Chains A and B, each alone.
Chain A
Amino acid sequence: MIEISGLTKRFGPITAVSGIDLTVGRGEVLGFLGPNGAGKSTTMKMAAGFLAPDGGYARICGHDIETDTLEAQRQLGYLPEGAPAYPDMTPRQFLGFIAQVRGLSGDAARNAIAAAVHKTELDPVLEQPIDTLSKGFKRRVGVAQAILHDPPVLIMDEPTDGLDPNQKYAVRQLIKAMSPDKAIVISTHLLEEVEAVCTRAVIIDRGRIVADGTPAELLARSHHHNAVTLIVPAAQADAVAARLKSIPAVADVQQAVSNGEASVTAFPKDGALLIEDVSGMASRENWDVKELYAEAGRLDEVFRAITTHDATRARESRA
């Protein structure tokens, strides 16, 4: 439903987006990740028709955003960066304006507004000028505006930025609930958001896609993938670490001591499963284990490894 191919944008000498290819189908929730300035927002602005690309194309439901702009924009709900809205309007007036522009009138408009307000829980502030609303409500006004016409394609730039944990949860539930019959792209800085709502994660860095897979696939690239951690008394830590190293599938063991307790982590070779070996050994050796857990991996670690690795390489190639 979203087809992006070779999308490129240059601002003077800087190439902000450099040949991005992306296809998002119905039922997918794609999390768009990347450091600040990586080109996330620029890509979304081009896909929504706000910026004209210097190369490549973006299609929404088969309609090219540059040549068949209006039809493409009708199929699209878009939340721009910063969730802009007219400050002197109330959410009711603002959503009324959006409904009218989108060709909804009478009962259709009233029902669409009521549904969007209900989904984003805007009822308490409907008659207050948007100017006076908290950051969280402003963001939700933006989300309500994007989903108002129940579009098949949704592109949202940081939909949960500025929301408190409860509101974040609510918006994520909303995205999940809408996802089966829509193609959704969200950008975010929050890696836990990707694990919570996305079926697919794409990391971009300096205008290029550097990783693309399900959250589980990305997690598998983490150093911590399938690593096992034990919490034992500090006095036992060295002995435990030495024994763990003797397990053939263990590549490395790290320990950290705090408050008389040591956390000993065994990292596997090639993502092998260690948990059974380690728990078996712990009971055989009668270690005084307070906690024992395996990790699926850490997304922030993958993110850092991919994006900083890239930056280092760029520095080297320039030098």
Chain B
Amino acid sequence: MSSVWAIFKREFAAYFATPLAYVFIVIFLFTMGAFTFYIGRFYESNIANLSIFFSYQPWLYLFFVPAIAMRLWAEERRTGTMELLLTLPVPLWATVVGKFLAAWAFTGVALALTFPIWITVNYLGQPDNGVILASYIGSLLMAGGYLAIGACISATTNNQVIAFVVSVVVCFLFTVSGAPLVIDFFRAWAPLALIDAVASFSFLTHFLAITQGVIDLRDIIFFFSLIALFLTANIVIIDLKRVG
């Protein structure tokens, strides 16, 4: 456990050692605001809740989260620190988990800094703060899902651009797997059970369920098992790369 903490601390500090963290957070907050107030017409809607704000999040995460995840392993490989990291007496799972948790905590910080919008909506009306809290939790879980996918893909390459592009595509498929675009493709030939299975992988479906204010254990389990699955794949990929 202490090695997870050591890896986490180094990785988390690394975000703030360069302008990366500040640039990312500023642009993330600006984009969130722009979508909510201008495109989402938050004021004109005259509704005192944050459903507009949260409805854009899956689509913004689609680009922002792979941008964080792409460097996780690709950069270690490119600079050669991967060799250092893997020859230190740290179990591989601890390295994978520590790095993932650091990236997750960083997205948590960025998400938490959207709090002015929560203050705004409370100033303007009486929103259901329970629903808002549930939505924030759901949002963080969804970000974790995207991150785990991105981290796993980052481990396959030493090229950050490739890691980013592939992650965006894979994350997109997970986002929309409940939408007609994907389902129609399967509907023509696949058995109903498979269609249901594919649809059940949709981030959108699970996230929207949570933003209704209902924290269903199944939605939570979905995101956690997805994270566990991709982190396991992450470990396997790094181990396979050792074989050469």
Contacts and interface: CB of A to CB of B under 8 A. Distances in A.
A235 interface: no
A103 B83 contact: no
Given A88-B14, A97-B6, A50 B89 contact: no
User: Chain B: interface secondary structure?
Assistant: helix
B47 interface: no
A50 B80 contact: no
B3 interface: yes
B191 interface: no
Nearest to B98: A101
Interface string A71-97: 101101010111011111100010001
Contacts of B17: 88-89, 129
B244 A82 contact: no
A11 to B, nearest CB: 6
A9 interface: yes
B80 A88 contact: no
Query: Interface range on chain A: under 10, 10 to 19, 20 to 34, or 35 or more?
Result: 20 to 34
A48 B82 CA distance: 13
A5 B153 CA distance: 35
Contact of A70 (B2, B80, B83, B91): B91
A102 interface: yes
A44 to B, nearest CB: 10
Given A50-B87, A51-B242, A88-B18, 14 more contacts: A50-B86, A51-B244, A52-B242, A52-B243, A52-B244, A74-B89, A84-B80, A84-B81, A84-B84, A97-B6, A98-B88, A100-B2, A101-B88, A102-B88
30 contacts: A11-B244, A49-B87, A50-B242, A52-B242, A73-B88, A74-B89, A78-B87, A80-B80, A80-B84, A80-B87, A81-B83, A84-B80, A84-B83, A84-B84, A85-B81, A85-B84, A86-B10, A86-B81, A87-B79, A88-B14, A88-B17, A88-B18, A89-B10, A98-B88, A101-B3, A101-B6, A101-B7, A101-B88, A101-B89, A103-B2
Interface of B: 2-3, 6-7, 9-10, 13-14, 17-18, 79-81, 83-84, 86-91, 242-244
